[in-house]
Amino acid sequence: MTENPFFKPSTLVYELPPFAEIREEHYLPAFERGMAEQLAEIGEITTNQEPPTFENTLIALERSGALLRRVRVVFQNQSSADTTPGVDRVDAEISPLLAAHRDAIHLDAALFARVEELYARRAELGLDPESLRLLERWHTAFVRAGARLDADRQQRLRELNAELATASAVFRQNVAADSNARALVVDSAEELAGLSPDEIAAAAENGRALGHDGRYVLSLKNFSNQSELASLTDRSVRERLLAASLGRAVATNGPLAIRMSALRAERARLLGYDTHAAYVVADETAGSVDAVDALLARLVPPAVANARREAAELAKLAAADGIEEIAAHDWAYYSEQVRQSSYQVDAGALRPYFELERVLRDGVFFAANLAYGVTFTERTDLVAYHPDVRVFEVFEEDGRPLGLFLGDFHARASKRGGAWMDELVTQSGLLGQRPVVYNNLNVARPAPGEPVLLSWDEVRTLFHEFGHALHGLFSDVRYPYFAGTDVPRDFVEFPSQVNEMWMVRPEVLANYARHHVTGEPLPAELVERMAAAEGFGQGFRTVEYLAAALLDWAWHSVPEGQEVADAEEFEATALAKAGLSVAAIPPRYRTAYFSHIFSGGYSAGYYAYIWSEVLDAETVDWFERNGRSVRESGEVFRRELLSRGDSRDALESFRAVVGRDPQPGPLLARRGLA
């Protein structure tokens, strides 16, 4: 066997991982050696006879674990974007070991003693602001991980973390397996009436790929509401599709969610907090449970009122089809009918104007160039982790190289649902590294020879994820701890949401939205009608989102020792109590497939999307009314916020751009909740 490619730093440009050499069997040995190496490095710090200094303790900590980082980022990406049964096995095996490894560092008494001593003397150390913050943040991380607990409590903490790590890997795999198992299979194209010929062809292709030759398969996407529900005319097919989606993983992940919520509650208690939500939010920009409660409570009543108004509109059209009461599987369909009849907008009619390649180059990249001056060159000579993946080199306005952007846009069976951004190489002055970031989307592959045409929502997702990518690419910090998107969770969606504004900026839209055959621009009045129609769906979208946010909040507000008997019952009660049980609007995710909170990093953090949207709406407002050119505004936003990562307080960066504390006004106006 050739040498494990993870053992040495990559020699490729930007330290791009050597994907051509990486095999599944390299992961486990690299994880094992990576953990051992880091523990040895920590051992050198703690056995150092010199008294602790910033250099021999904090800088040494920042430098430790290079091999582990190399394998972890590549593995994380593969397990999400291109998994295999072998990778799933490694994931299940390695997750508890990684949790134990983190504990071995955070609960290392000798290491914490050194950090604690430096922290006590921090005012005398003469540190620059970023270094001082590094010391403070590491100290907080140790304390929050249990460094101050006695040995018995630390032991229990280790057990809880290990069990949670395993549970979260199992949760993820259950969602993937059951989403595949419950894909909707129909026998005839007639049953798919309402879908476009392309979509029907894709469903047939999907059937072939999944072993249902001659039949049609609609794979399930992450959300409760499947996009096809908006156009399927056969009500019984809509009902089956939504039921398949809502029922995912209930049997396996329901009990697992109950167990995880109890484990997290116990851990929070050990660490001195009433609930997991209180523990999490203490280190976020929101700061307290009350602050989150207050924002959610303010949004729920007007959002529900909007949704009820929308429901009344839908009911009028549904009545004409003999439907007495709008069911959840009717909502998207009749919303689409309202859009067509009241706003003359047909979502399908927009697709020909949104060809992926054009949206990417003439929209997303074009906007980044307008605001920040950066340019993009495709590097077909560089090998990524899958043939679908595109690699672009990013350059500054003056031509200096900045980093790499990888785009992996298509759905495949080996990829989990949803869209996300992450980093393969983290920017850091200390380590001399420049960023390598990627975006993952789940755009359906068209029939062979057909162009890739996006929906309005997919265009938005492309701009959104690229906002995260820019946050990673523009990172300009010394310490890897602070790089790019490593900001508080209730702040991290803010830059990506801001980037969505370019999608509809007239100068950007005019540049990318062109008919893929005729080259004609998207008619301006169609865009206006689409924007008006967007307003119509706000009630639904806000309620669907708030229901998921409150569900997350409820699961993580369960105090230690409170038994939950049944996950579905818990869910129904929680939504009713919050005033959010609108029968025809299921939460964006139900408990059993709410991977964000049970296997992602968003436990007690799903509120973050609307929390960041307050900042986003304010910033979009600022871009429009600050009197500077787009390029100048972009420069301010980049310098004061995007480039800072977590190297200074997040809200301080916000204030440096907008000039004041965030106010909810622009968000309420945007969502029709004022």
- Report the interface residues with Zn ion, using CB under 5 A: 493, 496
CB neighbours (10 Å) of residue 110? 12
| Distance, CA of 633 to CA of 639 (rounded, Å) | 10
Which of 83, 16, 11 has the alpha carbon at shortest distance from 393? Answer: 16
| 29 token code pair | 């040995």
| Distance, CA of 88 to CA of 80 (rounded, Å) | 10
SS (H, E, C) 238-291: HHHHHHHHHCCCHHHHHHHHHHHHHHHHHHHHHCCCCCHHHHHHCCCCCCCHHH
Phi, psi for 422 (deg, rounded to 5): -155, 180
Minimal distance, residue 569 CB to Zn ion, in Å: 31
SS (H, E, C) 98-114: HHHHHHHHHCCHHHHHH
Q: What is the largest CA-CA distance in the chain?
A: 83
Q: Which is nearer to Zn ion, 16 or 411 (CB)?
A: 411
Q: Which is nearer to Zn ion, 178 or 422 (CB)?
A: 422
Q: How far is CA 453 from CA 361, 424, 647, in A?
A: 14, 28, 40
**Residue whose C-beta lies closest to Zn ion:** 496
Q: Kindly report the CA angle at 508 between 439 and 337, in degrees rounded to 5?
A: 80
Minimal distance, residue 670 CB to Zn ion, in Å: 17
| Distance, CA of 194 to CA of 330 (rounded, Å) | 14
Minimal distance, residue 521 CB to Zn ion, in Å: 29
Q: Kindly report the CA angle at 16 between 12 and 21, in degrees rounded to 5?
A: 75
Q: Which is nearer to Zn ion, 434 or 464 (CB)?
A: 464
Q: How far is CA 323 from CA 193, 310, 479, in A?
A: 19, 16, 60
Which of 440, 322, 344, 429 has the alpha carbon at shortest distance from 386? Answer: 440
Q: Which is nearer to Zn ion, 131 or 499 (CB)?
A: 499
Q: Which is nearer to Zn ion, 173 or 542 (CB)?
A: 542
| Distance, CA of 614 to CA of 611 (rounded, Å) | 6
159 catalytic residue (yes or no): no
Minimal distance, residue 541 CB to Zn ion, in Å: 15
Q: Quick check: helix, strand or coil at residue 389?
A: coil
| Distance, CA of 631 to CA of 643 (rounded, Å) | 16
Minimal distance, residue 314 CB to Zn ion, in Å: 29
**List 355, 465, 571, 613, catalytic entry:** 465
Return the exposure string of 435-461: e unless at least 16 CB atoms fall within 10 Å of the residue's CB, then b.
Answer: bbbbbbbbbbbbeeeeebbbbbebbeb
Q: Which is nearer to Zn ion, 408 or 493 (CB)?
A: 493
Minimal distance, residue 390 CB to Zn ion, in Å: 20
| Distance, CA of 248 to CA of 175 (rounded, Å) | 7
Which of 59, 141, 126, 128 has the alpha carbon at shortest distance from 431? Answer: 59
Minimal distance, residue 496 CB to Zn ion, in Å: 4
| Distance, CA of 323 to CA of 326 (rounded, Å) | 7
Minimal distance, residue 619 CB to Zn ion, in Å: 15
Minimal distance, residue 599 CB to Zn ion, in Å: 17
Q: Which is nearer to Zn ion, 112 or 611 (CB)?
A: 611
Catalytic center residues: 465
